[in-house]
Amino acid sequence: MSTASPVLSRQANDPSFPNIWQELKWRGLVHVSTDEATLEEALAGDPITYYCGFDPTAASLHLGHLVQLLLLRRLQLAGHKPLGLVGGSTGLIGDPRQTSERVLNTKEVVSEWVESLGNQVSNYLSFDGDNAARMVNNLDWTGGLSALDFLRDIGKHFRVGTMIKKEIVAKRLNSEEGISYTEFSYQILQGLDYLNLHRDYDCVLQTGGSDQWGNLTSGTELVRKVEGQHVHAIGTPLITNADGTKFGKSEGNAIWLNPEMCSPYTFYQFWLNTADADVADRLKVFTFLTRDEIAEYQQKVETEPFRREAQRRLAWEVTSLVHGEEQTQKVIDASAAIFGGGELEGIDEDTLTAVGTELNHVVLPATDDHSIIDLLVKSELVGSKSEARRTVKDGGAYVNNVKITDEAQSFGSNQALHGRHLLVRRGKKNMAMVSLESEV
Ligand SMILES: N[C@@H](Cc1ccc(O)cc1)C(=O)O
């Protein structure tokens, strides 16, 4: 994974807004918050310290987290001081989900993920200057806390009546499965984080998804009770598609930020496929383009939607924020070559595999005697051998973008890209990927 921070090349907030709060509201990033007037005043004034936490529940963060990562950076660009928290302790407990109790991961796995997530979060922040970011791990203040101290010193501040009213807890209590004491306690831990960060860093704002509202207010209430201070929280909206389908998944898979878990090609395609009805909203939330620039793209969606300029800009921006500009350009060049009949030799295997998942993809034994006729038939580009022969004769058969005119020509690993992949094409548009089984 690249160590450069592509996000840091994006400069400053949109100067057309009087302050960052107004910009966040315009971007649609505020679904719910603590008292708006004092929050706006705090954000428009001297630098404040704020935080957002990420739990190690997988080896990588995904698109839902990207909203938070970019929000951290937006507030830092406005001059405020970010704390990126990784949940070394909360990841061991598990934030209750709507559906069911979590299966706990081992401590070893959680600590590995703490490290990988910490690296990912760091990529979105600047560690230089007066408002340099800092990374924290909540295991540092909860790891040594005894059960008795926890119950005596922290538990006393929480009313069970309030705790069971939090939306997700209430839902789970009413479900057949119910909720364990472990997950029920989660909100106390997150509340305790806010209290600690308030004490140690004068942290006065926590951000998170709106599904986190119960946990966010658990912290603001604790700080009010214990320290007598009024601190803030912002809950960002759940991102939804205009047609009601789920955002952030491609064929049922989460779009991960780690390129080993979701190739930059798939990532780029995901954004390119954004519906016209959604594209302006996505530009607001996931890019640093200004209000004027987004208005122009909005206009283009209305007047010349077939050009998909807004989608292409969106895909370029978000992919370069996450994977860097160089990688993004590679992906664009690779698709141009693949779909435009160009040279395929230089394309990396991850990209080819990702392209394969979008095409009809067949796996054949790793022998050297696959005839062009077989390739066309087995990849279902033609319906019969005679149709395959006709295709070759008419000059409509291609392997790796090279026209094949000899119907007796056969293919194997020597002709395959990376020794494994044959891109088979019929005519201009119909493509399939044939991969040879890897030899074991
Ligand atoms: N509960 C948050 C993660 C988190 C953990 C600890 C915190 O202090 C803050 C946030 C989530 O699941 O997304």
Pairing of the two strands 430-436 and 360-364 = parallel
**CB-ligand 1 contact for 281 (6 Å cutoff):** no
Domain membership flag for residue 1: no
Pairing of the two strands 421-426 and 397-399 = antiparallel
CB contact at 8 A, 58 and 112: no
Find the largest Cα–Cα distance for the chain. Answer: 84
Please tell me whether residues 114 and 204 are part of one structural domain: yes
Q: Which residue from 238, 242, 235 is spatially nearest to 207, judged by alpha carbons?
A: 235
Q: How far, in Å, is the centroid of ligand 1 from the Cα of 332?
A: 35
Task: Using DSSP, state whether 204 is helix, strand or coil.
Answer: strand
Q: Note the pLDDT of residue 387.
A: 96
Please tell me whether residues 322 and 411 are part of one structural domain: no
Domain membership flag for residue 349: no
**CB-ligand 1 contact for 183 (6 Å cutoff):** no
Range of the domain at 115: 6-238
Tell me the C-alpha distance between 288 and 294, whole Å. 10
Q: Which residue from 158, 182, 163, 189 is spatially nearest to 90, judged by alpha carbons?
A: 189
Domain membership flag for residue 218: yes
Phi and psi (nearest 5°) for 416?
-80, 150
Dihedral angle sign, alpha carbons of residues 310, 234, 56, 214: negative
Please tell me whether residues 74 and 108 are part of one structural domain: yes
Tell me the C-alpha distance between 257 and 75, whole Å. 21
Ligand 1 nearest atom to the CA of residue 190, by list position: 8
Ligand 1 nearest atom to the CA of residue 54, by list position: 3
Tell me the C-alpha distance between 169 and 107, whole Å. 25
- Of the candidates 210, 238, 266, which is a domain's last residue? 238
Q: Which residue from 249, 235, 199, 185 is spatially nearest to 24, judged by alpha carbons?
A: 235
Q: How far, in Å, is the centroid of ligand 1 from the Cα of 53?
A: 4
CATH number at residue 408: 3.10.290.10
CB contact at 8 A, 207 and 50: yes
Domain membership flag for residue 29: yes
**CB-ligand 1 contact for 266 (6 Å cutoff):** no
Can you list the positions of beta strands (E) in 310-406? 360-364, 370-371, 397-399, 402-403
Domain membership flag for residue 352: no
Domain membership flag for residue 62: yes
Domain count, the chain: 3
Cα distances from 395 to residues 150, 367, 411, in angstroms, run 76, 25, 18
Instruction: State the ipTM, two decimals.
Output: 0.99
Q: Note the pLDDT of residue 106.
A: 97
Q: Note the pLDDT of residue 357.
A: 82
Count of H-run helices and E-run strands, the chain = 20, 15
**CB-ligand 1 contact for 84 (6 Å cutoff):** no
- Of the candidates 180, 214, 238, which is a domain's last residue? 238
Q: Is 186 annotated as a binding residue?
A: yes
Residue to probe by mutation, ligand 1, list 136, 212, 222, 234, most atoms within 8 Å of CB: 212
Q: Note the pLDDT of residue 359.
A: 87
- Of the candidates 193, 218, 238, which is a domain's last residue? 238
CATH number at residue 312: 1.10.240.10
Residue to probe by mutation, ligand 1, list 50, 52, 55, most atoms within 8 Å of CB: 55
Please tell me whether residues 115 and 208 are part of one structural domain: yes
Please tell me whether residues 97 and 22 are part of one structural domain: yes
Q: Is 51 annotated as a binding residue?
A: yes
Ligand 1 nearest atom to the CA of residue 219, by list position: 8
Please tell me whether residues 326 and 251 are part of one structural domain: yes
Dihedral of CA atoms 123, 127, 130, 133 in degrees, nearest 10, equals 60
Please tell me whether residues 164 and 15 are part of one structural domain: yes
Domain membership flag for residue 66: yes
Please tell me whether residues 64 and 206 are part of one structural domain: yes
Half-sphere exposure of residue 118: CA atoms within 13 angstroms, side-chain side = 16
Ligand 1 nearest atom to the CA of residue 55, by list position: 3
Residue type for position 111? S
In this structure, the number of other CB atoms found within 10 A of the CB of residue 158 comes to 18
Ligand 1 nearest atom to the CA of residue 65, by list position: 13
Q: What tens-digit pLDDT sequence spans the chain (440 residues)?
A: 344 577 887 777 899 999 999 999 999 999 999 999 999 999 999 999 999 999 999 999 999 999 999 999 999 999 999 999 999 999 999 999 998 999 999 999 999 999 999 999 999 999 999 999 999 999 999 999 999 999 999 999 999 999 999 999 999 999 999 999 999 999 999 999 999 999 999 999 999 999 999 999 999 999 999 999 999 999 999 999 999 988 998 878 899 999 999 999 999 999 999 999 999 999 999 999 999 999 999 999 999 999 999 999 999 999 999 999 999 999 999 988 988 889 998 899 988 888 888 888 999 999 888 999 999 999 999 999 999 999 999 999 999 999 999 999 999 999 999 999 999 999 988 999 999 998 65
In this structure, the number of other CB atoms found within 10 A of the CB of residue 140 comes to 11
Please tell me whether residues 415 and 369 are part of one structural domain: yes
Please tell me whether residues 189 and 203 are part of one structural domain: yes
Instruction: Please tell me what DSSP assigns to residue 222.
Output: H
CB contact at 8 A, 418 and 349: yes
Domain membership flag for residue 350: no
Please tell me whether residues 263 and 373 are part of one structural domain: no
Please tell me whether residues 121 and 226 are part of one structural domain: yes
Cα distances from 245 to residues 112, 166, 235, 262, 438, in angstroms, run 33, 26, 22, 20, 37
**CB-ligand 1 contact for 53 (6 Å cutoff):** yes
Kindly state the tokens that stand for 208: 């998170």
Tell me the C-alpha distance between 203 and 310, whole Å. 38
Name 141's Cβ contacts closer than 8 Å, sequence gap at least 6.
192, 193, 196
Q: Is 249 annotated as a binding residue?
A: yes
